[in-house]
Amino acid sequence: MLDTDQEVKNSSEARELPQVRGEVAFENVSFRYEEDKPDVLHDVTFHVKPGQKVALVGPTGAGKSTIVNLLMRFYDASGGTVRIDGIDVKEVTLASLRKQMGIVLQDSFIFAGTLEQNMRYGNENASDEQLRSAGASVRLDRVVAKLPDGYQTELEERGSKLSVGQRQLLAFGRVLLSDPRILILDEATSSVDTETEQHIQEALQTLLAGRTAFIIAHRLSTIKDADLILVVENGRIAEQGSHAALMKQGGIYANLVMTQLSMQESVILQTSS
């Protein structure tokens, strides 16, 4: 793996991406993993203003993660253009692009080392004050207060000493310390219970403030207040708009919401009976 060449590389004329405002545009973007394979994204077009929260919903394999992978240039689009603040992402260096982005996955990796060292992975040069401020902002300080050695508590690889929710708060603190302009949350709350999710939602309010955010989520209750919802189906943007507009439209998104509500009511009735 270490000897394998990167498929995505800087061009010979790549320049540094300046500090961005966070405007994102996909212009007729298509993508296939191999030249002789069919497209997995077809003519994807949308525009996101700086600071907007965008939710991507749709079935597994629809293309949601592929969209954010193209934004971060883990792959290059086969057709069309991906722009940030009007700049084609292929024209800038990978390092300057990715350092302005932060990502929190469903299962964020925790390294063997102290909790502080895991936090500083987001910004090794952060001051102690910045670190503790970031921890307090995402409610991680409540977790730290219960640990035997606070921020100096030794963690095992993958964070087995922490609950799923605590690991996610640590991941939020790490990404907040890096102060990204564009934030990607890929199923970041799907593995936590409903009670823990309430604490994480509080932390997210701080984390998302002033940043352009892309949120992939199956729990539609977590993305109702998104500025823009993209419904992805079979590699295409089947619908886009606000929660209210899509519910009024009565299409795919509205059916997904009603189905989830029905399932939740069924679970409640079974529990109470």
pLDDT tens-digit series, residues 212-255:
999 998 777 778 889 999 999 999 999 999 999 999 999 999 99
Residue owning tokens 């932390």: 203
Residue owning tokens 């394999």: 61
Give per-residue pLDDT as tens, 190-209.
656 565 667 677 777 777 88
DSSP 230-242: EEEETTEEEEEE-
Looking only at the bridges linking them, the beta strands covering 182-186 and 101-104 are parallel
Phi, psi for 144 (deg, rounded to 5): -60, -40
Q: pTM for this one?
A: 0.86
Whether residue 264 is predicted with pLDDT greater than 70 in this model: the reply is no
Distance of CA 24 to CAs 69, 169, 184, Å?
Answer: 13, 27, 13
In whole numbers, what is the pLDDT of the chain averaged over residues? 86
Domains belonging to the chain, first-starting first, are 108-179 (3.40.50.300)
